[in-house]
Amino acid sequence: MHTAVTEVKELLNRLPEESSYEDIQYHLYVIAKIQQGITRAETEGVIPHDEVEKQFEKWLED
């Protein structure tokens, strides 16, 4: 598992040298949100795709 510091170092190595602070901040935000989603999926579980289709079936009908 990567630590936050390791992930930031890897991000900085991947970004172009001309990246702005805003670019870096945006990428950090995206990484944090993805990690939150993964953690939530692991702790709360997920809904299978076919179940989602069943739940939204009535909304998709015209």
**Residues spanned by the domain of 33:** 4-60
What pLDDT does residue 60 have? 80
Burial class (CB in 10 A: 0-12, 13-18, 19+), 56: exposed
Q: Count the domains in the chain.
A: 1
pLDDT in tens, 11-61: 999 999 999 999 999 999 999 999 999 999 999 999 999 999 888 888 887
Residue carrying structure tokens 């990484």: 31
Residues 19-33 have pLDDT tens digits of 999 999 999 999 999
pTM of the full predicted structure?
0.71
